Amino acid sequence: MWWFHRRGPSGFSGASTAEEVTAGVDGRGLVAVITGASSGIGLETVRVLALRGVRVVMAVRNVSAGLAAKEAVLAKIPGAKVDVLEMDLSSMTSVRAFASKFESLNLPLNILINNAGMMTRNCARSCDGLELHFATNHIGHFLLTNLLLDNMKSACRDSGVEGRIVNLTSSGHVMTYPEGICFDKIHDPSGLNDFIAYGQSKLANILHTKELSRILKEEGVNISANAVHPGVIATSLFRNRTIINALLNSIGRIICKTVEQGAATTCYVAMHPHVQAISGKYFANCNLANPSSQASDAELAKKLWQFSLQTVSS
C-alpha cells in the first residue's frame, strides 16, 4: 500500500525490509536469543541477524522445525553461527530449562528478541494454570527476560556495548477490557473471548517493556528495552482462525506486509545505531510511534510487573 512507502525520521518506512534497515551494521561478536524463531518474521530475523555476523540462538517449541529452519539459514549464509534450543513459552518449567541450557553455552547475551506469539480459538489454561495467551505471550517472555538479565548486564559491562531487549507486540489499540487487563481472568479465563485474551497479552507486552525500561534506567544499566509492532503480516499466527487466515491469504498482497518487511522494525530496533540509548519506547514501521493510553499507563505497568513477579515465583 502507498502508506508503506512514506518514510519517517529514521529514513525508513513500512516498505523497508530487514536487510535494508541493517545494511552496513556489523554484528560480529554479538549474541542474540530469538523466540519463535523457526518460521515467519522470527526466522527472517534470525537470517538477517546472522547475515550481519550475529551469533543467534533460536528458542523454539518444535526442535525438528527449528533444525530445519537452521539448515535453511545455513544454506543461504554458509558459516552463519546458529544454535537451536527447545523452549515452550507456555510452560515456566520449559522456560527455566532453556535459560539453564543457554547459560551452559557460556555465551554473553547482547540482544534478546521476544518475538514468539500465539492466538488460539479457546481461552484454555496453560500447564501452569494461566490463561494460555497470557501465559505464552507475556509470562513466558517476562520470566525468560528476568532469567537472562544478569547475563545481559555482565555482557554490557564487559564489552561496553549496549544490550537491547525487543518485545514484539501489536498496535497497542487491540481489544481488551476498559481497565486494560482483567487480572482475575488470568487464572480463571471463563468469560473471556479469544480476541480480548489475545489483546490483554499484547497490551502486557508493551507495559512490560515500559516498566522494565524504567527499572533498568533506575539501576543505571546500559540495556534498552523497546516494544515493536511488526505490522499486519500473513504469518502462521492466525492458523487457527480459518476466516481471518482465508482473508489474509486472499487480500494479503494489498493490505499485508511481506515477511521481509515485517521483520524490519525488529531488526532496526535490535541493531541500528540510531536507536542507541533509546528505551521504553514503541516503534512501528521503523519509527517511533504512539500506542494506546492503556499501553502508556505507568501505574498499570507497575501493577502488571508485581503480578507477573508473584506469578513466576509461585
Tell me if 157 sits within 8 A of 126, measured CB to CB. Answer: no
Tell me if 76 sits within 8 A of 100, measured CB to CB. Answer: no
The grid cell for 136 is 505464552
Question: How many angstroms separate the CA atoms of 36 and 89, rounded?
Answer: 9
Q: What is the DSSP letter of 199?
A: H
Q: Is 198 a catalytic residue?
A: yes
Question: How many angstroms separate the CA atoms of 89 and 124, rounded?
Answer: 15
Termini Cα distance of the chain = 47
The grid cell for 74 is 545455513
> Dihedral through CA 118, CA 121, CA 126, CA 132, nearest 10?
50
Question: How many angstroms separate the CA atoms of 164 and 158, rounded?
Answer: 15
Residue 157: what residue type?
R
Candidate list 177, 198, 268, 282, residue with the active-site label: 198
The grid cell for 246 is 482465508
Q: Hey, which residues are catalytic here? A: 198
